[in-house]
Amino acid sequence: MKTINKTLCLRIITGGIIFLSALCLTALTIQAQTSLPRFVFSKDNTPISYEVYGSGEPTLVFVHGWSCDSRYWRNQIDEFSESNRIVLIDLAGHGHSGTTRDVYSMKAFGEDVKAVVEATGSKKVILIGHSMGGPVNTQAAKLMPERVKGLIGIDTYSNVEYPLTQEEADGWIAPLRQDYQTGARQFVRGMIYPYSDTLISTWIMADMAAAPSAIALSAMEELMALSINGEAATIFENLPIPVMAVHGDMWPIDFEGNRRHMHSFDAIVIKEADHFLMLNKPEEFNKALRQAIEEILKIAKKEE
């Protein structure tokens, strides 16, 4: 009986050790696959958070949109880090980055991207920007022309010539100034198809409505100013790099207008995809983004 008890105890102890070892190994594996945020100081000393995954050039730098953050690229990490180094950025005032600025301009955001790219040591990069991230990346490309090989806009760059008036901009921003949370939900709802995934759509609206209102309003005002003063289009005239876009089909694309200012421009449109296509249509989006990257590299190689 004592022998049986000893054998049973040894089996329990051994099994426990094996289980704990497996648990530790799993934890280490998960930790290895998860990149903890790193920090670098932007030009104005604002700490900027970023994450790095994978290896291989060109480096793909993902920049989120208005009132979003790096989490919006979660469906792209595994797909693209297998072949390239990818970098996810939290712009100032978003995610884990600092919130000390008085004005959240596209130029200052561009400095954030530049600081991160320089911190990673990347010599050859493609900047990928969703929504507001598109204009941010044009500013960043202007700051480091020797590193940026191309721009890819995600549901942005649809019409860089759009003649936005101050009156029209004020009308768009008014609901956000009156009640930011309610206004933001209404604003975001208009960019999501009613048949998109309800859970994801609800999360997007809640998340963006929870952004700091002062930062969100400043960024929106600065973004709209580029269309009012025409810089949204003219900035491309000094960027001799290819531009691609991956779009949903909610809004038309002005190919002719864009090409009047861009070195080259083309777009891939995903049917029945809304503004947040990287979240709502990840498989189709990743395939289209891969195609856009290959097109950028093909053009860049011809022009070397």
129 neighbors 220 (Cβ within 8 angstroms): no
Q: How confident is the model over 48-71, as pLDDT tens digits?
A: 999 999 999 999 999 999 999 999
User: Is 244 in contact with 268 (CB distance < 8 Å)?
Assistant: yes
Whether 71 contacts 49, CB under 8 Å: no
pLDDT digits (tens, 9 = 90+) for 115-159: 999 999 999 999 999 999 999 999 999 999 999 999 999 999 999
Give the C-alpha separation, 19 to 1, whole Å: 27
Pair 54, 82: CB distance under 8 Å: yes
Residue 42 has pLDDT above 50, yes or no: yes
Provide the residue ranges of all domains of the chain, joining segments of one domain with +.
1-34, 37-302
Q: Identify the DSSP state of 36.
A: P
pTM of the predicted structure, to 2 decimals? 0.89
Encoded amino acid at 205, one letter: M
268 bridge partner residues: 246
User: Treating both helix axes as pointing N-terminal to C-terminal, what angle do 180-189 and 213-228 enclose, rounded to 10 degrees?
Assistant: 50
From the options 3.40.190.10, 3.40.50.1820, 3.30.565.10, 3.10.20.30, give the CATH code of 37-302.
3.40.50.1820
Alpha-helical segments (H) within the chain: 2-33, 77-81, 106-120, 133-143, 166-178, 180-189, 198-209, 213-228, 231-234, 255-259, 277-280, 282-302
**pLDDT tens for each residue of 81-112:** 999 999 999 999 999 999 999 999 999 999 99
| Cα–Cα distance, 169 to 259 (Å, whole number) | 25
What are the tens digits of pLDDT across the range 174-203?
A: 999 999 999 999 999 999 999 899 999 999
Residue 250 C-alpha from the chain's centroid: 19
Q: What is the pLDDT of residue 34?
A: 57
What's the length of the chain?
A: 304
Q: Whose CA is closest to 284, among 297, 298, 274?
A: 274
Residues whose CB falls within 8 Å of the CB of residue 246, separated by 6 or more in sequence, listed in order: 152, 153, 154, 155, 267, 268, 270, 277, 285, 288, 289, 292
Residue whose C-alpha is closest to residue 233's, from 163, 161, 133, 130: 161
State yes or no: pLDDT of 252 exceeds 90: yes
Q: Is 226 helix (H, G, I), strand (E, B) or coil?
A: helix
Residue in 95, 153, 109, 94 with CA at minimum distance from that of residue 128: 153
Average confidence score pLDDT of the chain: 91
Residue 39 contacts residue 55 (beta carbons within 8 Å): no
